[in-house]
Amino acid sequence: MIPIKPVTGTSSVSGTSAATPVQAASAFLKPGALHLKALPPLSLYVHFPWCVRKCPYCDFNSHEAKDGFPEEEYLGALRSDLENALPLIWGRKIYTVFIGGGTPSLLSAAGIDRLLSDIRTLLPLDGAAEITMEANPGTFEADKFRSYRASGINRLSIGIQSFNARHLQALGRIHDDGEARRAVEIAQANFDNFNLDLMYVLPSQTVDEARRDVATAIGFAPPHLSLYHLTLEPNTYFAKYPPQVPDDDTSAEMQDMVEALTTDAGYQHYEVSAYAKPTRQARHNLNYWEFGDYLGIGAGAHSKISFPHRIVRQMRYKQPKAYLEQVRLGAPIQEEFEIERGDLGFEFMLNVLRLTGGFDPNLFAERTGVPLNAIEKPLNAAEAKGLLYRDHKLIRPTELGRRFLNDLQQMFLN
| Domain boundaries, position 413 | 341-414
3-class DSSP string for 6-71: CCCCCCCCCCCCCCCHHHHHHCCCCCCCCCCCCCCCEEEEEEECEECCCCCCCCCCCEECECECCH
| 53-57, 168-172, 316-320, 365-369: least confidently modelled range | 53-57
pLDDT at 30: 55
The answer for 172, left when phi > 0, alpha when psi is -120 to 50, beta otherwise, is left
pLDDT at 66: 84
The reply to whether 345 and 282 lie within a common domain is no
pLDDT at 142: 86
d(CA 69, CA 275): 34
DSSP for 222-252 reads -SEEEEEE----TTSHHHHS------HHHHH
The reply to whether 208 and 347 lie within a common domain is no
Share of the chain above pLDDT 70, in %: 92
pLDDT at 370: 95
- pLDDT tens, position by position, 77-129: 999 999 999 999 999 999 999 999 999 999 999 999 999 999 999 999 999 99
pLDDT at 28: 39
d(CA 307, CA 7): 7
Mean pLDDT of 66-77: 95
Q: State phi, psi for 333 to the nearest 5 degrees.
A: -85, 120
pLDDT above 70: residue 9? no
| b/e burial code for range 83-102 (CB count within 10 A of at least 16 → b) | ebbeebbeebebbbbbbbbb
Q: State phi, psi for 89 to the nearest 5 degrees.
A: -130, 25
Q: Which of 179, 254, 260, 183 is nearest to 222 (CA)?
A: 183
The reply to whether 277 and 408 lie within a common domain is no
The reply to whether 102 and 216 lie within a common domain is yes
Number of domains in the chain: 2
Note whether residue 4 is domain-resident.
no
Query: Which residues, including other chains, have CB under 8 Å from residue 244's CB and lie 6 or more apart?
Result: 203, 204
CB 314 within 8 A of CB 387: no
Which amino acid, one-letter code, is at 316?
Answer: R
What does the DSSP 8-state code read for residue 355?
Answer: B
Tell me the three state secondary structure of residue 377: helix
The reply to whether 363 and 256 lie within a common domain is no
Note whether residue 31 is domain-resident.
no
CB 47 within 8 A of CB 102: yes
- pLDDT tens, position by position, 228-273: 999 888 888 787 888 889 999 999 999 999 999 999 999 999 999 9
Note whether residue 247 is domain-resident.
yes
d(CA 103, CA 158): 10
Domain boundary among 243, 258, 286: 286
The reply to whether 237 and 129 lie within a common domain is yes
